[in-house]
Amino acid sequence: MGDEILEIVGDRAQLYGVDSGGRRRRDRQVALSDLLGGIATSLNSSQRNTTIFLPSGTRFIQVRGASTGVVVELPPDIRRVTWSPTKMEGGEEYTAYWLAFPYTIHVCLFYTIKGDEAYGGGLEEMRVYYRNAPLRSPDDPLYVPNLFNVQVDPALTSNCRACLRGHPDDLHNLPLVEQAETLLNFFWETGFNLDIESNGFERARTLDPRISSLEAWAEASKADPLFPLQIQWEPADCTPRHVMDRLIDMRDTNAKPLRNASDLADMMYRLREAP
């Protein structure tokens, strides 16, 4: 960014940029209370005092600075999943399948700069993994899922990232427990499709004939609802602790010092814009 000018007028903080001709343009306006809350959180992030009611199935939680990471484990189950052979914008009708799943591990990262004790802040992302046994430690290994709407690019920055396009955009107004439950329901109840080309299903379909197609998967689920626990899933080469640390490090929220107007400008772009 170029030069920034921060101006406070009444209960609003306004951010201006300056072009090459010296002319100012207003780029952002936020409530002064939100900006002051963000500054307080940044200055005191290493001493964040947070009380959080956790969603069902939570096995691991990490709070660092403005980041809150939650690991939720869903037990083996048969779920109704809908699927379309096209991308979302294709308008194709979805077909329902009843499919068996092993333990499913969801790693969710939330971010807040308001410092609210009851709220997790805005969703950053969700990663999804499999296991054939419940988690006993944050250092247990994770495995790559065979799911359509999960990216399985080998790069650590994107591996096993869930597609949550179209999720409710007002989640930040809900307590963290409701945000997490809403996201899990959205992930499983929204139809799967081909929006992600390097998806987990295509990568895993050669591991076992029972998951080579949706039809085969549904038939195997009828015959033995626990058959996914017998499959040798591909190792993801990470643990819940590794994933959480990496996501929070990527977010760079570990008490980043506020040194100049650019740091405040970056903070203002993370706040809801005021009318």
Residue 255 in this model has a pLDDT that exceeds 90: no
- C-beta separation of 182 from 170 below 8 A: no
**What pLDDT score does 127 carry?**
92
pLDDT band per the 50, 70, 90 thresholds, residue 117: very low
User: Would residue 13 count as lying in a domain?
Assistant: no
Which is nearest to 1 in space by CA: 260, 262, 268? 262
Residue 111 in this model has a pLDDT that exceeds 80: no
pLDDT band per the 50, 70, 90 thresholds, residue 252: low
Q: How many CB atoms lie within 10 A of CB 179?
A: 25
Query: Which pLDDT tens digit goes with each residue over 126-157?
Result: 899 999 999 999 999 999 999 988 888 765 55
Query: Which pLDDT tens digit goes with each residue over 44-56?
Result: 554 455 566 777 8
User: Would residue 8 count as lying in a domain?
Assistant: no
**What pLDDT score does 233 carry?**
95
Average pLDDT over the chain, rounded to whole?
80
Query: Which pLDDT tens digit goes with each residue over 205-235?
Result: 899 999 999 999 999 999 999 999 999 999 9
Higher pLDDT, 104 or 151: 104
- C-beta separation of 35 from 20 below 8 A: no
User: Would residue 22 count as lying in a domain?
Assistant: no
User: Would residue 35 count as lying in a domain?
Assistant: no
User: Would residue 17 count as lying in a domain?
Assistant: no
Full-model pTM: 0.71
Residue 168 in this model has a pLDDT that exceeds 80: no
User: Would residue 275 count as lying in a domain?
Assistant: no
User: Would residue 66 count as lying in a domain?
Assistant: yes
Q: How many CB atoms lie within 10 A of CB 13?
A: 23
Q: How far is CA 57 from CA 73, 84, 140, 153, 181, in A?
A: 5, 29, 16, 27, 10
Span of 174-188, 190-204, 247-261 with lowest mean pLDDT:
247-261
Residue 97 in this model has a pLDDT that exceeds 90: yes
User: Would residue 25 count as lying in a domain?
Assistant: no
Query: What's the domain range around 146?
Result: 49-254
The residue length of the chain stands at 275
- C-beta separation of 142 from 157 below 8 A: no
- C-beta separation of 48 from 63 below 8 A: yes
Higher pLDDT, 265 or 214: 214
How far apart are alpha carbons 177 and 120 in whole angstroms? 8
The answer to whether the Cα torsion of 142, 144, 150, 155 is positive or negative is positive
Give the count of domains, the chain: 1
How far apart are alpha carbons 202 and 99 in whole angstroms? 16
Q: What's the whole-number mean pLDDT along residues 169-188?
A: 80
Higher pLDDT, 220 or 18: 220
Higher pLDDT, 88 or 206: 206
